[in-house]
Amino acid sequence: MLKNISVSGLSSLFLGLLIFLFFGLFYSFHLHYQEQYQLFLFTADYFLERVMQPGGLSNYLGSFFTQFYFYPWVGSLIIATLLILFQRSLLGTIRNLGAAKDFFVLSFFPVLMYWGLLCDENYLTGGLVAILFISLSNYLYTFSRSGLVKILFILLGIPLLYLIAGGSVLFFFLFLLIYELNEKTRSWKFLLLFNSLGVLLVLAIPFFLKNRLGMFPLVPFIVGVNYFRFPINFPVIVGIIGLLLVLLPFLSKFLSKGNFRLKKNILLVEVLIFFLFGSWFIYRSVDFEREGIMEYDFYVRMRKWEEIIHKAEEKAPQSPLSVTCLNLALGKKGQLGDRMFEFIQKGDEGLIPDFTKDFTIPMVAGEVYYHLGFINTAQRFSFEAMEALPDYQKSVRTMKRLAETSLINGNYVLSKKYLKILQNTFYYRKWATYLERAMQKEDLINQHPEYGLLRSMKLDRDFFFSDQEKDMMLGIMLSEKKNKLAFEYLMAYCLLNKDIQHFVQYFPLGESLSYFRIPRHFQEALVYAWDVSKSEVIKEIPYPIRDEIKSSLNRYRKIYTSQPDPQPLLHKKFGETYWYYFHFRN
């Protein structure tokens, strides 16, 4: 059986396997990220709304595939399959033009570039589907021989492909144009008619639809919509891939007929260039720092608190958003006061991020507010994040959160509105159906381990607060609901801002929370506060401070006051204490 598989076929399988393993093992959380920022519905209205846009069918199919990215291995298989179909169709076009077998490696270059393109989370699957349709159309065109069939390709193919793939149809027309100019048997009358019809259709269709529909600016009508998350930008690299799709078949044909020094070793040269270029291009395309942030965010979304802590123990998070996720996980597991300074902290922005007119930061910040019991704030952040999406799509994650916050607030009518929408999705259908039925029995909601708890924690009144008054916000929550997580966040907020005075002032608020012992970092802050404000510090502290922490402070103070440059030694011995953060962390 293996004897029947060509070298090019084995190469395609090998590349497909690499792509599959790359997205499945190393870039899976980019796939989760893509899935949460769209809302694919199995409804006729959704289908008609999508396909009535320029390039709508590619956009619809791209969204259909993206919903399965919730399962990374399925998403990896989809991406690998689409890219290899792209490569094989381009290779078929190259061979139909009469290129030698040794030039099959050239068909891998556009695929490699699109692989690197998809490493950017703002490139959507619809763009890959569109370019695949163009490549398949080019391949099919090479089988046509009749002049009438070619005219039909122009008259019917261009309008149809415009509806399917949007402005990418330009690359189809360019291929047809160069293909016919290379056909020496064509008369000048045929070429004039052929080219005139093509230019007229390519230019006229976008302007015609813009005047009739008018739902988008002119640029999206020309290039298509929803191939890139920021629709006002047209990535140059997409145009380069499209031009390679057009030119590589003719370049392969030209090189096959040529006589040059490296022709006998052309396969080796192609493989070498592909390896060097591919390694460089993928290296510069990947962003594992963002992949790490997405991993933390996904674990928060799925309530996998222990996985977050374990990941941070292996490698401390560096970005404020990752630290935000870590601190929330520590808080949910009751470890915030004991372990937060074991990791690099980023000030209060790593605790509760400020609101930003964006679609990513409010999502993470909203998770913090949600678990603290500020349900209305979490609801507002989710709504703002969804409305901030630059491609005007709806987000399945925010839709789910809006259903949850409405449910917790007792607004069942609004919650059912969102749940009805989610019942038309693939992954969230069962969850939405269960929750809608649970609303019929109030006790099921009140006894729910998450929704019931948050309902008991949420504030019964609204109030305004600014990002500079987070301590007051947490204080109000604590005074009304005796919320232990809110207390620890209030204490952590003071510590991260190095506000020892308010930390000592607020600390007695936690006396009713039944601590068996004061958390480690809170003890460190208390003993330090008494150290800088009292004469006989250890004897006068009215809280049960462990002897180990008292003696550690004495050793810390001795090094700090006696060494000309104490930081290296203090970092080695006391780098995980609040004292080190207070003196040396910005």
Residue 125: CB partners within 8 Å, gap ≥ 6? 34, 62, 63, 65, 66, 78, 79, 82, 118
- Residues 250, 118, single domain; the answer is yes
Residue 489 falls within a domain, yes or no?
Answer: no
pLDDT of amino acid 62? 95
* Residue 104 φ then ψ, to 5°: -65, -25
Residue 467 falls within a domain, yes or no?
Answer: no
Distance CA 366, CA 346 (A): 18
- Residues 389, 257, single domain; the answer is no
pLDDT of amino acid 536? 47
pLDDT of amino acid 112? 95
Residue 438 falls within a domain, yes or no?
Answer: yes
pLDDT of amino acid 100? 80
- Residues 96, 236, single domain; the answer is yes
- Residues 76, 200, single domain; the answer is yes
* Residue 441 φ then ψ, to 5°: -125, 105
509: helix, coil or strand? helix
- Residues 410, 262, single domain; the answer is no
- Residues 309, 352, single domain; the answer is yes
pLDDT of amino acid 186? 65
- Residues 14, 117, single domain; the answer is yes
Would you tell me how many other CB atoms lie within 10 Å of the CB of residue 569? 12
Fill in the DSSP letter of residue 512: G
Distance CA 203, CA 158 (A): 11
- Residues 280, 294, single domain; the answer is no
- Residues 438, 305, single domain; the answer is yes
Q: Measuring CA to CA, which residue among 483, 531, 523, 528 is closest to residue 507?
A: 523
- Residues 248, 145, single domain; the answer is yes
- Considering 250, 285, 320, which residue would you say is the last residue of a domain? 285
- Considering 415, 434, 457, which residue would you say is the last residue of a domain? 457
By CB atoms closer than 10 A (0-12, 13-18, 19+), residue 18 is middle
Sequential DSSP letters for 23-49: IIIISHHHHHHHHHT-----SHHHHHH
Could you give the number of structural domains in the chain? Answer: 3
Q: Provide the residue range defining the domain that includes 392.
A: 289-457
Fill in the DSSP letter of residue 546: -
- Residues 311, 251, single domain; the answer is no
Would you tell me how many other CB atoms lie within 10 Å of the CB of residue 535? 7
First to last CA, the chain: 64
- Considering 246, 262, 285, which residue would you say is the last residue of a domain? 285
Residue 264 falls within a domain, yes or no?
Answer: yes
Q: Read off the CATH number of the domain in which 398 is found.
A: 1.25.40
Residue 488 falls within a domain, yes or no?
Answer: no
Residue 463 falls within a domain, yes or no?
Answer: no
Would you tell me how many other CB atoms lie within 10 Å of the CB of residue 300? 25
pLDDT of amino acid 352? 92
- Residues 330, 274, single domain; the answer is no
Residue 385 falls within a domain, yes or no?
Answer: yes
Residue 170 falls within a domain, yes or no?
Answer: yes
Sequential DSSP letters for 570-584: HHHHHTTSHHHHHHH
CB 42 within 8 A of CB 424: yes
pLDDT averaged per 10 residues in sequence order, the chain, 586 residues: 69 95 96 95 94 88 96 97 96 90 91 95 93 94 82 83 87 87 69 68 67 61 71 80 93 80 76 92 95 96 96 93 96 95 91 88 93 92 91 92 95 95 96 93 89 87 70 79 89 94 90 84 92 60 87 92 90 94 89
